Amino acid sequence: MTDYHKHKKIENPLEEPRIIFESENRIYVSDGVKLKKIVARNGNITSLASYDGKLYDSGIYGGPLYGGIYDTFSGKMIDNSTSVYSMTFDKEGRLYAANGRGIYEVFSQKFISDIKKLKKLLRLDDDDYEEDLDKICIATHDGNLYHGCMGEYGGKIYDTFLNKMIAKRKEGVNSLASNGEKLFDASDEKVYETFTNKVIVSGNGEILSLAVDDTKIYTGTPRGIHVFYRDGKEETLFPEIEGVYSIIIPDILTFQNALRSSQKMW
């Protein structure tokens, strides 16, 4: 995979993309040209994850408002945790989630790293409460699970299974993503190759979320989705969409199911 560099904007639509992303309380699917809404919730959506035709979404509110983890297409709640900030699937179909209690596997409800362990990594006392610990981003890569967090105690990325720090940023880590080849992370206005600490994208505004394939880097921003191509070109998709905090490149079956369940926007 070659480097991505800032270059001039292009007017041509994306070539054969497939993305699903959220903004506020809505989930959208797009081929890079047409935008379709899949579903709207009654609270803010924080994370998306897909595997083998299935799509899941999560929220941060409990009670009568939206919270927990849902099967997006059926609307069925599969986990009632109230503040799920991030989710990711591994290649075997295990769904991991991060909330204020720690990082756990959803279907088995097994905790991989509970809040006490996370606080120990950050050298916090057990009775300390840090709001940003609720905002943990996670990703699987090459059979391993990784996490980072935002805010004052952010900036560090860990191998979750080994409880070992693998990288450190000056600012909090907003998102992690793998394209199967490499692990990437987004911090402030930059995208890094995590293991080499090499800056791949820089200086294009705050990056809220991240998705990577073999030819493109998608960054969710406060205004739409910015796309960086392998050849150096770039463009912005849907600048009228505000606050893209989660974006994924789904498998083909999930993408097709999303299109079938969606409503055309324009």
**β-bridge partners, 146:** 139, 159
Q: Are 138 and 103 in contact (CB under 8 A)?
A: yes
Question: According to the model, what pLDDT value does residue 199 have?
Answer: 95
Mean pLDDT of the chain: 84
115-128 burial, b if ≥16 CB within 10 A, otherwise e?
beebbebbebeeee
> DSSP letters along 68-95, please?
EEEETTT--EEE--S---EEEE-TTSPE
Domain boundaries, given as residue ranges, for the chain: 19-264
Q: Look at residue 176 in the predicted model and tell me its pLDDT.
A: 97
- Could you tell me if 51 and 95 are in contact, meaning their C-beta atoms sit under 8 angstroms apart? yes
Query: What stretch of H or E contains 120?
Result: helix 115-121
The 10s digit of each residue's pLDDT in 16-39 is 568 999 998 899 999 878 899 999
Q: Which residues of the chain have pLDDT under 50?
A: 1-15, 62-64, 125-126, 128-132, 266
Whole-number Å distance between alpha carbons of 218 and 131: 27
1 alpha-carbon distance from chain centroid: 21
- Residue 171 in tokens: 């600012």
Cβ neighbours, 10 Å, residue 158:
24
Mention every residue, 6+ apart, whose C-beta is less than 8 A from residue 144.
159, 160, 161
The highest-level CATH class for domain 19-264 is mainly beta
- β-strand partners of 211: 218
User: Sheet holding 102-105: strands in order across?
Assistant: 86-89, 95-99, 102-105, 110-114
Give the whole-angstrom CA distance, residue 138 versus residue 153: 16
pLDDT (0 to 100) of residue 121: 59
CA 1/CA 202 separation, integer angstroms: 18
The DSSP string of 160-178 is TTTTEEEEE-SS---EEEE
